[in-house]
A = this chain, B = another copy of it.
Amino acid sequence: MKKNNLQSLFNPQSIAIVGASNKKGKVGTVIAENISKLGYKGRIYYVNPSYKILKLKRCYESVSAINKKIDLIVISVPAKFVLDVVKDSMNLSRNFVIISAGFSETGEDGAQREKQLHDLAKKHGLNILGPNCLGFIVPKNKLNASFAGGMPAAGNIAFASQSGALAVALMDKAKGEQIGFSHVISIGNQMQLDESELLEYLAGDRETKVIGMYLEGIKNGEKFLEIAKRVSKIKPIVILKAGKTEKAQLAISSHTGALAGSDEIVDVAFEKSGVIRADDLEEFFDLLTLISFTDAPKNNKVAVVTNAGGAGVLTTDAFKGRKITLAEISTKIKNQIKMKLPSEASVENPIDLLGDADEARYSDALKALGLTAGTIISVLTPQQQTPVEKIANVIIENKAKNVTTAAIFIGGDRVFSSINLLKKSDVPNFSDPQRAITALDKYYRWEVVRKQKEIAVKSFKSAGRKKNVAEIVAKAKKENRSALLFAEAAEIAKQYGIDSGDFWTIAKGGTNLPAGGSEISKFPLVAKIDSDTVLHKSDRQGVILSIKNQAELSDAIAKLQQNFPGEQILIQPMQSKQIELILGIKVDEIFGPVIVYGLGGIYTEVFKMVNFMLAPMSLVEIKNHILESKIGFLFQGVRGQAVYDLEEFASILQGLMALATENRQLAGLDINPLFIYNDGRKASAVDIKIII
C-alpha cells in the first residue's frame, strides 16, 4: 500500500506545479522548465493565480480548479501559503513535493507551520517530500521535478540527500563517470517521508541496485534500524552520515534543524543493520560507483596483477586491517603464469608482470588466475612502452562472472581514455590502491552480513516483572527521587538475571542492625551510603571498607549516620577484586536504549575499552559481540590466564538488554563495578544505579 503510494509520487502520470512562473530566476520558473522541457511525457498543470496562460498553456488559479485526480503536486510558493495549498489539493492528490523553505529549519514559527503540515499529512494519509527540499529527479521518466538543472543519465544508483547542494555536485561529478541514477531525491526536512520510508520504497524499485544517502540526522532511529536491516538484505545501502564532531553538530542544528546522534552509536546502528558507512565524500562516490558497476566479492580472496612493483607494494599495504586479503595462489597456477613471463617477473601475489608488460602478459596472467580469487585487480602505470588501451581491453575481455573485477590505473593523460573504456564495460577504476581496497572491503563486508542467517531473538517480555519495575519506579518518583536505592535497583536487576550478591540495609535514621542482622557474619564487610542524592560516595568518604568484626561494623554505621544524617546505609560482604567491568544503559536520543559494557576501574575513561550494543540481539549474537569486543580477550584466555565465563556474562548482558527494552521509562543505568571471576565464583553487580 505504502509502496504503491510512493510509486505514483516518483512515477506520476500527471503533475500540478503550484507557483509555476515565467519570471527569470524564480524557483517556480526553473521547476516548470525542468518538468516541461526535459522530456517528461505525463500531463502537466500549471497553477498560479497571477497567470491565465503560462508557456502557451492554461494556468489554473488553484489546484481544486483543475478538478481532476493528479498524481503529484509540486509546491513552490511562500511558506505561509503552503498549508492552504495542500488543503485545497488533497481531494485530488495524495502526493506532494514541497520545495518551499521557511519551516522547522528557521525557528519557532516555521516549526509550528511544519507541525500543522505534518498533522494534516498524518490525518489524511498524504505523502509529502520536503518541505525545504530541492525536489527529485527520475531520469528513466525524463522527470526533473526539482530546481537543480539538467537531466543525469539513467542508471541503477538511487541517491537521497539531506543536502540539495551535494546532490547537485554529485550529479555533476557523475557525468564523466559512466554511472547513472534511478532516483535523485532531495529529502529536505524529512518531515514525513524520511530516510526509512525512502529506503522501503527504493528497496522495491527494480531499477535501483544501490541506495546512497547523505544524512545529517536520522529522524526515527528504531524505525530506521528495523527497515535498514531488512532492506540491506536485498540491496546495499551506502550512507555518508555527517555530523561526527561536536562542531559539526553545531553546524547541523543551525543548518537544517536535524538532531545528530552520537557518532559511535551511529556506527553501531549501521553495522547492526548492514548499512555501509562511507567515511567521506570520495569514499561515498567510490562505493556507489563500485556497486553500480559490479557485484560484491564472493569471497575474501583478492589477486592482484601489476606492471609496477611499487604500485604492487602500495596495494599490498592497503590490505592492512581489512577482511579481504591477498589470495594464496596455488603452485599450479603460479607455474602456469611463470611459464609465460620473463624470469625476473614475480608470481607471488601481487603478480609483477614487469614494467615492459604488454597486453599479452596481462591476458596470460588473468586467464591463468581464472576463478582463483573472489576479486581480481589489475594495476597499471603508463610506462613508455605500455599499451594502455590494449590492456584495458584485455581486462574487459577477461571479466569473469562470479569474480569482482577492478582496476587501478595510475596516471593522467595517458590513462584517461582507457579508464573510460573500463567504466563503459562496468569495470570500476580507482586512482589509488588505498581507495580501491577500502571500497572493495566494505562491499565484501556487506556481502558477509547479507548472507548471515537471521537468528530469531527469543522474546524476553514478561508482564509481571515489567509491572514490578513500574511500581518501584512509581514509588521512587512519588518520593521525588531521581534515582533508585540499591535494594530497589538490585531487586529489578535480579528479575533480569543479574545478581548483586548478599546485602543488608539500615533504613534512614535507623540505629539498629537490620532485621536479619545476625546473619551478617561474612566479614570483612563494606558499609556505604545508599542514596539517590550522594554522588561520588567514595570521594566523599561515604564508603567504609574492610570491616572485620561486629564492633567495627557498629562504629562504621555510627560514623556514616553522623556524616550523612538521614541517609540509608548499605552493607555488603567485601569481595576480592579480580576483574572489574562497567555495564550500563545509555538512552540515545536517536536510537533509544544502548547497552554499554567494558573494562571498569579507575582508568575506564583512559583505556576506553568499551563497546556498545543495540537491541534486539539473540544470545548467540551477544556472545559473538563479546568475543569480538575490546574485552573479548578475557573470554578467550590470554597469556595462559584461565578464561572468564562467557555464558554467564552473555546472559547478564541479555538480561540488561531485556531490562532496557521492557522498561523504556528508565533514563539510564550503571552497574559499576560488575566483578567477574575465572575461578568459579559467580559474577556480582557490586553497585547498581538506576536513573529514572
- Which stretch, A11-19, A377-385, A673-681, touches the partner chain B? A377-385
- Does residue A512 face the partner (Cβ distance < 8 Å to B)? no
- Does residue A182 face the partner (Cβ distance < 8 Å to B)? no
- Does residue A307 face the partner (Cβ distance < 8 Å to B)? yes
- Shortest beta-carbon distance from A114 to chain B in Å: 16
CA gap between A174 and B251 in the complex, in Å: 36
Known A173-B412, A281-B314, A434-B279; judge A381-B602 contact (CB<8 A).
Answer: no
30 contacts between A and B (CB under 8 A): A162-B310, A163-B309, A163-B311, A166-B311, A166-B381, A168-B411, A172-B415, A173-B410, A173-B412, A214-B310, A216-B310, A216-B313, A242-B313, A243-B313, A245-B317, A247-B319, A250-B316, A251-B316, A251-B350, A255-B352, A279-B434, A280-B314, A280-B432, A280-B433, A280-B434, A281-B434, A602-B641, A603-B638, A605-B638, A605-B639
Contacts of A175 in B (CB 8 A): 412-413
A:300-323 near B, CB below 8 Å: 307-314, 316-320
Q: Is the CB of B633 within 8 A of A603?
A: yes
CA gap between A603 and B410 in the complex, in Å: 44
- Shortest beta-carbon distance from A384 to chain B in Å: 5
Contacts of A106 in B (CB 8 A): 344
CA gap between A411 and B150 in the complex, in Å: 14
Q: Is the CB of A539 within 8 A of B169?
A: no
**Nearest B residue to A166, CB-CB:** B310
Of B250, B279, B310, B414, which one neighbours A163 at CB under 8 angstroms? Answer: B310
Extra pairs beyond A166-B310, A245-B319 (5, CB < 8 Å)? A164-B355, A169-B308, A169-B381, A174-B412, A255-B312
CA gap between A248 and B385 in the complex, in Å: 27
A:85-142 near B, CB below 8 Å: 101, 106
A421-440 interface bits toward B, Cβ cutoff 8 Å, 1 = contact, 0 = none: 00000000001111100000
CA gap between A302 and B410 in the complex, in Å: 32
Contacts of A148 in B (CB 8 A): 383-384
Q: Is the CB of A308 within 8 A of B165?
A: yes
CA gap between A216 and B316 in the complex, in Å: 12
CA gap between A482 and B249 in the complex, in Å: 59
CA gap between A352 and B256 in the complex, in Å: 12
- Does residue A46 face the partner (Cβ distance < 8 Å to B)? no
- Does residue A348 face the partner (Cβ distance < 8 Å to B)? yes
- Shortest beta-carbon distance from A175 to chain B in Å: 5
Contacts of A30 in B (CB 8 A): 384
CA gap between A320 and B245 in the complex, in Å: 6
Contacts of A251 in B (CB 8 A): 309, 312-313, 316, 346, 348, 350
A625-669 interface bits toward B, Cβ cutoff 8 Å, 1 = contact, 0 = none: 000000001000011110000000000000000000000000000
Of B252, B326, B348, which one neighbours A313 at CB under 8 angstroms? Answer: B252
A residues neighboring B (CB under 8 Å): 25, 30, 101, 106, 147-149, 161-166, 168-169, 172-177, 214, 216, 240, 242-245, 247-248, 250-252, 254-256, 279-282, 307-314, 316-320, 326, 344, 346, 348, 350, 352, 355, 381-385, 410-415, 431-435, 539, 602-603, 605-607, 609, 633, 638-641
CA gap between A675 and B672 in the complex, in Å: 27
Q: Is the CB of A382 within 8 A of B172?
A: yes
Of B147, B161, B355, B607, which one neighbours A165 at CB under 8 angstroms? Answer: B355
Q: Is the CB of B165 within 8 A of A413?
A: no
**Nearest B residue to A416, CB-CB:** B176
Of B252, B281, B414, which one neighbours A172 at CB under 8 angstroms? Answer: B414
**Nearest B residue to A102, CB-CB:** B344
CA gap between A385 and B26 in the complex, in Å: 11
CA gap between A307 and B169 in the complex, in Å: 11
Contacts of A172 in B (CB 8 A): 382, 411-415
**Nearest B residue to A258, CB-CB:** B313
Q: Is the CB of A432 within 8 A of B317?
A: no
Contacts of A316 in B (CB 8 A): 245, 247-248, 250-251
Contacts of A602 in B (CB 8 A): 638-639, 641
Contacts of A169 in B (CB 8 A): 308, 311, 381-382, 410-411
Known A413-B175, A432-B282; judge A163-B248 contact (CB<8 A).
Answer: no
- Shortest beta-carbon distance from A38 to chain B in Å: 13
CA gap between A350 and B433 in the complex, in Å: 32
Contacts of A163 in B (CB 8 A): 308-311, 313
Known A175-B412, A242-B317; judge A168-B432 contact (CB<8 A).
Answer: no
Contacts of A311 in B (CB 8 A): 163, 165-166, 169
**Nearest B residue to A307, CB-CB:** B165
Contacts of A317 in B (CB 8 A): 242-245, 248
Q: Is the CB of B413 within 8 A of A176?
A: yes
CA gap between A608 and B573 in the complex, in Å: 35
- Shortest beta-carbon distance from A435 to chain B in Å: 7
Contacts of A319 in B (CB 8 A): 245, 247
Contacts of A214 in B (CB 8 A): 310
Q: Is the CB of B432 within 8 A of A281?
A: yes
Contacts of A282 in B (CB 8 A): 431-432, 434-435
CA gap between A248 and B243 in the complex, in Å: 35
Contacts of A609 in B (CB 8 A): 607
Contacts of A173 in B (CB 8 A): 410-412
Q: Return the 9 tightest CB-CB contacts between A and B, nearest first.
A: A163-B310, A165-B308, A280-B434, A172-B411, A169-B381, A248-B316, A255-B309, A169-B410, A282-B432
Contacts of A252 in B (CB 8 A): 313
Contacts of A385 in B (CB 8 A): 25
- Shortest beta-carbon distance from A426 to chain B in Å: 19
- Shortest beta-carbon distance from A192 to chain B in Å: 21
Q: Is the CB of A166 within 8 A of B308?
A: yes
Q: Is the CB of A281 within 8 A of B165?
A: no
